[in-house]
Amino acid sequence: MPDTAAPTGTIAQQRNADRELNASRLLRASAKHSHDPLTEVDWTAPVDPDHYALPAHRVTLYGTPLWERLDERQRAQLSVHQLASTTAAGIWFELVLMEGLIRHVYANDLTTGHAQYALTEVADECRHSTMFARYITATGYPSARPTRRADRLGRLHFLLNDTTMTFAGAIFVEEFTDAMQREMIRDESLQPLARSVARIHVIEEARHIGYAKPELERRWARMTPVRRAVFRRALALLARQSVAEIVNPRVYALAGLDPTEAARAAAANPHWRQARIDWSRKALDFFTDLGIIAPSTTRHWQRASLLP
C-alpha cells in the first residue's frame, strides 16, 4: 500500500524540522540510556520454580476451575511459560518491525537524524530479541518460533511493505507490552530475571513509541478517506492476531492441562479479558484520538477483547 505524496512547501518543511527535532532528542536519549542485556542481566542466577513471572491475576486461567486444579508451584510455572510465550511473540514482532524500519531507512536520506534514529532503534531491537531468546532458554520454554498463523501474517506484511502499518503496529504492541511490564517491575514478589528483562525493555521501548507516534500522526493526516477505511480494519486485524499470538496453547500442555479445554477457559475468563483491555488502553486511546478507531470498527476491537 504506497503512501500518498508528501506535502510541499512550508508545511512540509515544518514537518521535516519537527521530525529532525524529535530524532535529535531520541538520539541523545539513546546515547545516555541504552543497555546491554548480555552484561547487565544476571543470566547465571537460578530460576526459582516457586516465583511467579506475572502477577497471578494476569495469568490467563486465574479464577477459573482449571486454576483451582493447579497447585501453587504449577500456577507459578504457568505464569513463567505464559511470559515466555509472550516473549517469543515479542521476538516475532520485533523481527517484523526491524524489517520495516530497514525498508523505511532505505527509502530515506541516511544523513538525516530521522533515518539514523531508525537504525538506532534496529540496534535496540536486535539486543531485545537476543535478550528475549536468552530468557526463553533460561525458563526451559521449548521454542522461540512464532505460530504458523503469525508466520503467514508476518510474510504478508513483508509483501505489502506498508510502513504506516509498521508504525501503527509498533505503537500497539509496544504500548501493550509496556503496560504489562510496568506491572511486573512494580511487583517485587515476581521472578527477578523476568523483572530485569522487563526493566530494560520498558526503558528503551519508551523511545521507540516516541518515534512511532508522530510518524503515524503525519502519515494518517495525509491518507485519503478510502485508504483510512481500509487501514482501520487492517490495524484491528493485526492487533487481534498479535494478542492471540502471545499465549501459545503449548503453555497449557506444559502445565499438564488439555490445551483445547484450557484455551476455551482462558477465552471466556473475565480476568484475562480485563488484562488485555488494561494493557491495550494507552494505544487505543491514542488511536481513538487520531480517528483510527471509529464507530465503524469499534466492534472489531471489542471482539478481540481489547475494548470493553
Residue 213 pLDDT > 50, yes or no?
yes
- Rg over CA atoms, the chain: 20
Each residue of 224-234: pLDDT tens digit?
999 999 999 99
Region 171-181 average pLDDT: 97
Residue with cell string 525498508: 103
Residue 101 pLDDT > 70, yes or no?
yes
* Residue 60: partners with Cβ closer than 8 Å, 6 or more residues away: 82, 247, 262, 266, 269, 272
- Cα–Cα distance between 140 and 143 in angstroms, integer? 9
Alpha-helical (H) ranges within the chain are 9-33, 37-40, 65-69, 72-106, 113-139, 148-160, 163-186, 192-221, 225-245, 250-254, 259-267, 270-290, 298-303
- Cα–Cα distance between 154 and 93 in angstroms, integer? 8
Quote the cell numbers at residue 195. Answer: 523483572
Q: Quick one: pLDDT band at residue 154, thresholds 50, 70, 90? A: confident
pLDDT on residue 186: 97
CA nearest to 93, candidates 171, 184, 207, 31? 171
- Cα–Cα distance between 270 and 276 in angstroms, integer? 10
Q: Quick one: pLDDT band at residue 11, thresholds 50, 70, 90? A: confident
Q: Provide the 10 A C-beta neighbour count for residue 138.
A: 20
- Cα–Cα distance between 157 and 162 in angstroms, integer? 7
Residue 2 pLDDT > 50, yes or no?
no
Region 151-156 average pLDDT: 85
Q: Torsion angle, CA of 287/288/293/294, rounded to 10 degrees?
A: -160
CA nearest to 241, candidates 169, 178, 182? 169
CA nearest to 173, candidates 264, 63, 97? 97
Which amino acid is located at 188 in the chain? Answer: E
Q: Provide the 10 A C-beta neighbour count for residue 300.
A: 18
What percent of the chain lies above the pLDDT cut of 70? Answer: 97
Q: What is the DSSP letter of 108?
A: S
Task: Please answer whether residues 211 and 22 qualify as being in contact, where contact means their C-beta atoms are separated by less than 8 angstroms.
Answer: yes
* Residue 37: partners with Cβ closer than 8 Å, 6 or more residues away: 127, 128, 130, 131, 134, 197, 200
Task: Please answer whether residues 18 and 108 qualify as being in contact, where contact means their C-beta atoms are separated by less than 8 angstroms.
Answer: no
- Cα–Cα distance between 180 and 159 in angstroms, integer? 31
Q: Quick one: pLDDT band at residue 9, thresholds 50, 70, 90? A: low
Q: Quick one: pLDDT band at residue 99, thresholds 50, 70, 90? A: very high
- Cα–Cα distance between 59 and 114 in angstroms, integer? 39
